[in-house]
Chains A and B, each alone.
Chain A
Amino acid sequence: MTDKISKEPAAAPSGSTPSGLPYEAIKAIPVRHYGRWVSAVVVVVLLGWLVYAFSQGDVVWATVWDKVFDPSVIDGMWNTIIISISAMALGLVLGIVFAVMRLSKNPVTGAVAWLYIWFFRGTPVYVQLLVWFNLSLIFHYINLGPIYKNETVDVMTPFMVALLGLGLNEGAYMAEIVRAGIQSVDEGQTEAAHALGMSSTKTMGRIVLPQAMRVIVPPTGNEFINMLKTSSLVSAVQYTELLRASSNIGNTAGAVMEMLFVASIWYLALTSVFSVGQYYLERRFARGSTRNLPATPFQRVKKNLTTFKRSPEAKA
């Protein structure tokens, strides 16, 4: 690794002009950014003080560390992951469907999509969850004629309620994100696809949506991370996710704040993991849009280390 690093920058100074004549590489002392050092120290001191303050507070940290891997907390965390991913998947599918409907030439589908977005964005997700939870007040049976019939109470398990409540709400937001993505794609792309004889469906699926993904992915990552935390609302419909699992322990053990910290640690961990996933997803969809893909954080760290190592050479 070190070998490769020292070669790259060295190649240029010892190089020569196209005509073959050697030239002298500039050996300058780089600008010194003293302000950066000072501000870094200030930030570290402030952070240290904050950590110290929390550690001295009236919180039993031993309990926090003790309960992080408590089985019921871990169960809750898995439930949070399961409901977040399922609801997000449902939201993404609905979002694409309703975005395409909204942009359709058909006025009926356009109006239906508009109405859906208007309603599900316009009412609190908490209320939506409770409506699904209490659906049996309105429909006692779910009756699909000869195919399927069951009592609503039996169908509406906590998971189903949570999935429908969060998923349909998310679909309305995703529809607007997907619509923005579709509209960001140059109209010439659609024309070119049509001119080749591609149908509208093929054009959307093969040409427009893949390009729209570049615009869709970043806000979708945002939505997903939001979803991880919004999913804590589903404890209201008897679905035991991370926050509920943690505070259950906290309430019985009299360690309310401690258990909230436990939950927060897991939320932070989940958010970090999925942010990394989002980063690589963005890279995947950036293919073709830039000549060279941007460096991954790992590559960037490597490069920063290189410049760090090179500076003594430059001085010499």
Chain B
Amino acid sequence: MTGQPMVKAEGVHKSYGAAHILRGIDLEVQNGEVFCLVGPSGSGKSTFLRCINHLERIDGGRLSVDGELVGYKQKGDKLYELKDSEVAVQRRDIGMVFQRFNLFPHMTALANVMEAPIQVKGESKAVARERAERLLDRVGLGDKMGNYPSQLSGGQQQRVAIARALAMEPKLMLFDEPTSALDPELVGDVLDVMRDLAESGMTMIVVTHEMGFAREVGDSLVFMDGGVVVESGNPRDVLTNPQQDRTKAFLSKVL
């Protein structure tokens, strides 16, 4: 894996009022990599993920996707905030899957997947529909296209959400605890779709508590706690042979 990294974070800080959530995150996500973020709740992993597509604004450091600063532009040695419309353009290439699915409840599964290509890229209905059908087929929901989200199980909703993000043909996919809101028996279907996506070469950043998935599919793993990166490396090494005490303590509870 050569060339510039897909995501590069240098000393990223983020506070909510007095709460200092991210205290200097440095990491690189390479092209085509499955990058897992693990750690206890409140460690800042979800916040960091949301900074990558500028759902949250960073207060310090530098964060870039595919060589382009997120949410800011640099002219000389000054940073300028991007306008909302410019941020929207940056977000087109970054797909995101949420813990609570956030499907549009007033639209069918098919319409959910067609919405962004039509509204954002100005694609024709026919083209968007053709791709949406293919994507829903790919996530195993070819027979549920006409269903509204409330008529789908959690696992099915999350797979529609993945298809919806893929419809924008992103170069990077962010997963924010995609299986945490699911019944245990439904987790597998969603992980299968993610595994399939990883095999197709998609760059993925996954905040997860599924250590099995991280070990099996992940290329890199970062353990975060208290807003900093505690330990990082190959998932199989970090998970089986952690070096830091905090990592050991965390893993002993979740494994």
Residues of A within 8 A of B (CB): 186, 188-189, 191-200, 202, 206-207, 210-211, 285, 287-291
Contacts and interface: CB of A to CB of B under 8 A. Distances in A.
A189 B104 contact: yes
Given A287-B148, A290-B150, A195 B105 contact: no
B84 A289 contact: no
Interface stretch (B90-98, B210-218, B238-246): B90-98
B116 A196 contact: yes
Contacts of B168: 196-197
Contact of A287 (B91, B96, B106, B116): B106
> Which of B89, B100, B104 has most chain A Cβ within 10 Å?
B104
Interface in B48-93: 53, 55, 84-85, 88-89, 91-92
Interface of B: 53, 55, 84-85, 88-89, 91-92, 94-96, 98, 100, 102-108, 115-116, 119-120, 148-151, 161, 164-165, 168
A194 B119 CA distance: 12
Contact of B98 (A191, A199, A289): A191
Nearest to B54: A194
B105 A288 contact: yes
Closest 10 CB pairs of A and B: A197-B92, A192-B102, A196-B116, A288-B148, A195-B96, A188-B102, A197-B91, A288-B106, A197-B120, A288-B105
Contacts, number: 76
Contact of B120 (A189, A191, A196): A196
B7 to A, nearest CB: 15
Nearest to B120: A197
Contacts of A200: 84
B123 to A, nearest CB: 12
A192 B167 CA distance: 13
Contacts of A193: 104
A190 B4 CA distance: 32
Nearest to A190: B102
A189 B168 CA distance: 17
Nearest to B174: A195
A288 B150 contact: yes
Given A191-B98, A211-B105, A288-B107, A199 B85 contact: yes
Contacts of B164: 196
